[in-house]
Amino acid sequence: MQIIDGKALAQSIREQIAEETARLKADRDITPGLAVILVGDDPASHAYVKMKAKACKEVGFYSIVHEMPETITQEKIEETIVMMNQNPNIDGILVQLPLPEQIDTTRILELIDPKKDVDGFHPYNFGRLMTGLDAFVPCTPLGVMKMLEAYGIDPKGKNACVVGASNIVGKPMAALLLNAFATVDICHIYTQNLAEHTQRADILVVGVGKAGLIGADMVKEGAVVIDIGINRLEDGRLVGDVDYEAVAPKCSYITPVPGGVGPMTIAMLLQNTLKAAKERA
């Protein structure tokens, strides 16, 4: 069993991005810019946005955070997005989810210029991803594919199972694996006998937010297990959706939580923003 070290891989990618950013500044006088909309006082969202801002600074990006109250109106957020769409110094626009109940999230995400949609949530980019065309890909699934590539794990011809069918993770993850010529199973809350699907998987990707959902009896011997879930237990520990201690001995490769997929998500956000800046150049 080999642990997939997402933290080390993400650091390596960030160093490469910093080098490319320095060249872009020197050659074209362009500094990649990322703008974030943060609504409300959710501590987890604030912590995550702070991590993104710190990462931007480390690689030499310009970044700005638009903090808005929980009571913000739809119109005010839309005005801010239109302003950022028109700002030539902003390459990437990110709306930290979830948004308050009074906000139509779909309308907000669709308003973002697809060329600045570094989260890959716009239907335009999702459609291009589904048809195998170049697009901005959601950061977490993209990070998973980078991990597989870095560790020499080729999905071609493999049975893959994705547990979780969200628009942000599960569906784009399945599309990327399908584009890489894996045979893909997608499971969700209504899937009957989940173990029947997971036991066939050469590559098992899990991201539903339920601690310990996947036990050793649900995993094929020698499988590659990618745990996207992150859950905080009552004792304060962070764990994934996979029972790591029980499952790890059966795997050829497995991601830990924390230190697995999480760091790759931010690295891919930086990569997408740099890509947008290069396209501007």
Torsion angle of the four alpha carbons 133, 137, 141, 146, in this order, in degrees rounded to the nearest 10? 80
Q: Is 119 a catalytic residue?
A: yes
Angle at 193 between CA 191 and CA 196, to 5 degrees: 110
Residues 6+ positions from 159 with CB-CB distance below 8 Å: 182, 183, 185, 200, 201, 202, 203
User: Could you give the CA distance from residue 41 to residue 158 in angstroms, rounded to a whole number?
Assistant: 43
Residue the block writes with tokens 């996947």 = 214
Q: Is 116 a catalytic residue?
A: no
Among 5, 52, 185, 227, which one carries the catalytic annotation?
52
Among 91, 117, 119, 243, which one carries the catalytic annotation?
119
Q: Would you list the DSSP string of 215-229? A: -GGGS-TT-EEEE--
Helix ranges (DSSP H) in 29-138: 43-59, 74-86, 105-111, 123-130
CA dist list (Å): 240 to 22, 46, 119, 148: 36, 21, 22, 18
- As annotated, the active-site residues are 52, 96, 119
